[in-house]
Chain A
Amino acid sequence: MNLKPTRSSAELASVPSADDESAVDLSELQEAGRAIMHNVETVIDGKREAVKIALTVLLAEGHLLIEDVPGVGKTMLAKALARSVDCTVGRIQFTPDLLPSDVTGVSVFNQAERRFEFKPGPVFANIVIGDEINRASPKTQSALLESMEERQVTVDGVTYPLALPFTVIATQNPIEMEGTYALPEAQRDRFMARISMGYPDSKSELAMLDSRDTGSPLALISAVVSGDTLRDMMLTARAVFASSAVKEYAVTLVRATRDDRDLRLGASPRATLQLIRAAKAQAALDGRDYVLPDDIDSLAVAVLGHRLVPTSRALGHHHQNSGPLIDDIVRRILADTPVPVGLGASALPVSMPPVRIIPSRPVGSTGQS
């Protein structure tokens, strides 16, 4: 496990270069993305959509929540994704008795040096896999969730910045309710996207029987992208251009969720932000340096779904699992929202001022100063 200080200083140095020009070429990025996807798909069959969204979230520096019934490969996806990138991986298996310090790390008294020494927890990694996150007590959950948002950990009054990139891939089981603590809305909001794996189709399942009969498939895959490349890719993805039309579309969509009759709680402004960010990453993965409304469309369900709370009327009998219902609502909103294409008053393209990507503060640097 690496400690942060060294990393983040290296990060700081790399930022200015990203400002002027993308660190990696779009085609390189697309290539790397394909490699990762291909790698992951050797262990996950027939889940191209889920894999792609997972990769998009990784590239967009977000956190991913995988929610599904046991045994469909949630953990496998997380692990495969983590393994495809040459970076540090932390894994936390959440249980009811897990303590916050088990996540963040503890200060241990060093007898020899006679001082407290910080032992970083599993959260100090580039990719953190949190398994069965809803099994832990809220206290422990919030320890992780705080670090997700703030990208830093404070133990005993000392703030330790986390690694960069830092991505949490959490899994949870929506069916099993006994002895679980469902994530509150506020904490779900911190995940960029939620995906559910879904059962594989019969062909994929059959193929899986042939190929994964023995041994751990994870052993077969190795890293295809270095951590530095991933960082560069993230910067490149950030620099993708989102036109005002697309932004307007995203805002319209999110606003529509707030006014929808079936939703008690709509999406937050953070959702808008993350929707655009994810759309940029996806556009980059497709080799485009501009975002299309289609990117927004294809990501809206994943990005908005877990933030919405349906009304009890709309929920009806879906008390156990509101996921499919909410996906339907989001799809309906998508189908009802006009797309801002060039059919407005002026048919000629409006010359838009080039929107400069403000060089985002290195996320890990706050604790440094």
Chain B
Amino acid sequence: MTSLSTKPALSMDTLPSQRARPPRLPHSRRGTRDAAVWPLVVSLLLLLLICCAALGPLLRGSAWWWVCAAVASAVLLGSAVFRRLGLPRPLVPVANIALLVATLTLLFGGGTAVFWFIPTPQTVDTFAGLIDAGRASVAQQSTPAEVTLGILFLLAGGTGLIAIAMDLLAVTLRWPALAAVGALVPLLAPGFIIDDGADIAALTAAAIAFLLLLRVDVYVRRAQEAAQESARDPAGVRAPRVYRTQRPRGTGSIGGAVLVGTLTIVGALILSTLTPALTTSGLVTAGPAGLLFGSGVSPLINLGQDLRRPKAGPAFHYTSTGTEQPYFTLLTLDQVIGLTWTARIDGADTRNTVDDIARPFGLDNSVETLKASTSVVIDGVNSHWLPAPARATKVEGLIGRWYWDSRTRAIASTTGNTLSQTYTVSSLEIKPTADQLRRSSTDYPASVLGNLQLPVNPPPIIEQTARQVTEGTSSGYDAAVAVQNYLRSSAFTYDTEAPVEDGYDGGGVDVIGVFLQQKRGYCVHFAATMAAMARTLGIPSRVSLGYLPGVKSQDFQQGLGQYDVDSHDLHAWPELYFVGIGWVKFEPTPGRGSVPNFEQAVDAGTPTSGPGGAAANSAPGLSVDRLADDSALERGATAPSAASTNLLGIIGFSALGLLVLLLPGITRRMLRLSRMRRIHSAGGAAALAWIELQHTSLDHGIPVPVTETPRAFTMRLERLRRLDTESTEALDRVLLSLERSRFDRSPKRADTLADDLTLVLRALHASASVGIRLRATFAPTSLFAALGAVLLGERRARTLAP
């Protein structure tokens, strides 16, 4: 073998001239148009993922991002594979859409699909339900929103559609700058919805990704020009004239494109940061027709919109065993953020199941309570929040997973909605006496102190009016009744139109100032005003949204005692906190609802509630309040059984993920076994054995250049000193076998070939380091190389025989 050292010397880089030369992949230039598109697709994907991440401030958690990433990757990489397989260009978007549907079916189909990804009519129904649920969830939640399954579906679907559009624009039509328009949708959404505007970091990252995309496009264009040029002269197909100078044709226009793109991004960045919070000015669209509240961002406004709807639709009907017809609470706005009333979100805990709702916060035993049961049948309410009487203790018959908020006791669901639910609510009616209310102390527990907050500079008229109206009252209760009476007085007019016409709609604190002067408004204004005034007087308050008790059913077939509630019964009312009693509803809106008459209770009530009893009440009332503080609430709230349903899903997903991770290794192993079998059985399998040897070397990080002769490769392997004597001899036999089969006249059957090969492969594997061995087992390089070769081979076959 002495004469054979020229080539190994070359390939081992012993020649300085060789070392300096950049290694040239033998097939690197063969890629035509579609081969060069991979980098483009990858940069598109990067841009899209960054833009999706920009939605972060709007949504809770981060799991949704992974779903979006999976869908986007599937679509974009899938389209690249389609192109690689030579699918005609017009068909790629169609195939992409099919891929998107299959992916969504796989993720959201929930067992309705055939083979997990072929959608069936049931799947379509499921999707429609998810879309409805998602839209409803979007409408009802405030930011950051809980990502329900419906929202997740909308996100995933939207991401997929954007990905298809981007792919179409950037790869098929080659307008990558326009592709960014799609990416702008998720990028700029936070800027329009929440006050803080979009995240600067996300915008910058997206801008960088976009510039990268443009740059990659330029690179791809040039590479393609070069490829087309070389394809034009047939002799140049395999000619090693790789250093052909590429004419910088079109550099000017491309540079211009980059400049334009830069300006666009910078402009968008500036615009987005300057964009004011547009939420209050009504940019947020109203919810779909028939819905309760248009948007979780400003439910008060949308309540007004629903009230102004000319025709009322049925909401629900119910029968109640209570002594009075209950107000149905949907949600409670207990915090003033900025100038608006919003639902505080930090108390939500999805583990609070509705089977057992804790005793109302701050309710003393001495207060007379009455258990009531209300059976509700939902007719038209499509909401994320459940209409239920205040102080519900138990809800039965609900479909889906519902939880109750440990602060406001609002009942909500992350996955379901109220549509066509039938349920029974057990609740407590409280019958406090006016005396108890009057004697309530002002020693408020910590958890309601937040309900005293007002904006930094509220309109002074609020406090002035409050002081004026409550002059001469001695207790908080009397003051509250005075305010209520003032608002219900003839000075105020109930009017759902005037505030909109005069531009002071909503329950914001600034609006209250206007309302107190105009004295025209509807329940939202009255409720918010009373709550705000109570706060200025030092009484914790909040605003509840829900339904009035409705009217007695005229339908005799339904039986007596049934009440119908329609959408015009939507209502807002204030609730004030009294130590020892808890949250007590008031009704300041003139002509609406019923005024709680606690004085009446005194008259009607037994005179046993003497001074002694009352005195006994106030002191324990305080202690109960302290006991029933937040910790107690949370202790009772946990529901351990909720996790078990998740477990199965987690295990399933883990198994699936594990399978995906192991797939390359398993495939490689099966490939090797099949080759070994063929080597055993077929004569002249030396070439096959050689392929296996080369692939194993590749797996173990040993390069296998096609320009190397088998003998040179063998010598290199032997020089690596990773084989012992025995396996070296075996390797020589394998080599000889290959050479004879490939270069000799008649190949001779080598019986020991399979054994020799096994020996060599084992030795190769055993001598590698642990990391390399792991890589070879689980992420075999050769598999991907082989896949590439197959794809290339198919392309080649297509170009040869079109």
Contacts and interface: CB of A to CB of B under 8 A. Distances in A.
Interface in B230-264: 235-236, 238-241, 243
B504 to A, nearest CB: 80
Given A282-B3, A342-B687, A335 B707 contact: yes
Contact of B235 (A49, A56, A259, A341): A259
A301 B18 CA distance: 15
Nearest to B243: A261
Interface in A300-338: 300-301, 328, 331-338
B10 A347 contact: no
A281 to B, nearest CB: 11
Contacts, number: 142
Interface residues of A, number: 47
B711 A349 contact: no
B18 A331 contact: yes
B438 interface: no
Contacts of A297: 4, 6-7, 709, 712
B241 A48 contact: no
Interface in B722-771: 738-747
Contacts of B665: none
B598 interface: no
A260 B240 contact: yes
Most-contacted residue by chain B among A52, A294, A295, A334 (CB, 10 A): A294
B517 interface: no
B682 interface: yes
Most-contacted residue by chain A among B15, B236, B682, B739 (CB, 10 A): B739
Contact of B712 (A294, A328, A338): A294
Interface string B384-399: 0000000000000000
Given A261-B243, A341-B742, A343-B706, A336 B24 contact: yes
A348 B740 CA distance: 13
Contact of B706 (A243, A261, A339): A339
Contact of B743 (A256, A282, A292, A301): A292
Q: Is the interface of B mostly helix, strand, loop or mixed?
A: helix
A333 B240 contact: yes
A246 B709 CA distance: 11
Interface stretch (B91-99, B474-482, B688-696): B688-696
A298 interface: yes
Nearest to A290: B744
A94 interface: no
B468 interface: no
Given A341-B742, A348-B682, A349-B687, A335 B18 contact: yes
Contacts of A293: 709-711, 743
B684 A294 contact: no
The size class of the interface chain B forms with chain A is 35 or more
A286 B6 CA distance: 16
B694 A343 contact: yes
A124 interface: no
Nearest to B27: A338
A69 interface: no
Given A260-B240, A341-B690, A349-B741, A298 B708 contact: no
A290 B745 contact: yes
A241 B706 contact: no
Given A241-B744, A243-B743, A297-B4, A261 B709 contact: no
B26 interface: yes
A321 to B, nearest CB: 16
Contacts of B685: 347-348
Nearest to A37: B2
B243 A331 contact: no
B707 A294 contact: no
Contacts of B738: 341-342
B3 A241 contact: no
Interface in B66-110: none
A13 interface: no
A332 B4 contact: no
Most-contacted residue by chain A among B694, B709, B741, B743 (CB, 10 A): B743
A294 B711 CA distance: 7
Given A259-B240, A282-B3, A297-B7, A243 B744 contact: yes
B17 A332 contact: yes
A328 B15 CA distance: 9
Contacts of A225: none
Contacts of B2: 48-49, 52
A47 to B, nearest CB: 12
Interface in A236-269: 241, 243, 245-246, 252, 256, 259-261
A335 B10 contact: yes
Contacts of B7: 294, 297-298, 334-335
Interface string A331-369: 111111111011101011100101000000000000000
Contacts of B682: 348
Nearest to A252: B238
Nearest to B712: A294
Contacts of B712: 294, 297
A298 B6 contact: yes
Contact of A291 (B21, B26, B235, B743): B743
Nearest to B796: A345
Contacts of A345: 793
A339 B747 contact: no
A338 B26 contact: yes
23 contacts: A49-B2, A56-B3, A243-B745, A259-B240, A285-B3, A290-B739, A290-B744, A292-B711, A293-B711, A294-B712, A297-B4, A332-B18, A333-B240, A334-B7, A335-B10, A338-B707, A342-B686, A342-B690, A348-B684, A348-B685, A349-B686, A352-B745, A354-B745
Given A294-B709, A298-B7, A338-B26, 8 more contacts: A290-B745, A292-B711, A293-B711, A297-B712, A335-B707, A336-B240, A348-B688, A349-B747
Interface of B: 1-7, 10-11, 15, 17-18, 21, 24, 26, 235-236, 238-241, 243, 682, 684-688, 690-691, 694, 706-712, 738-747, 793
Interface of A: 48-49, 52, 56, 241, 243, 245-246, 252, 256, 259-261, 282, 285-286, 289-295, 297-301, 328, 331-339, 341-343, 345, 347-349, 352, 354
What are the 9 closest A-B residue pairs judged by CB atoms, nearest first?
A: A342-B687, A259-B239, A297-B7, A338-B706, A290-B744, A293-B709, A294-B4, A243-B743, A298-B6
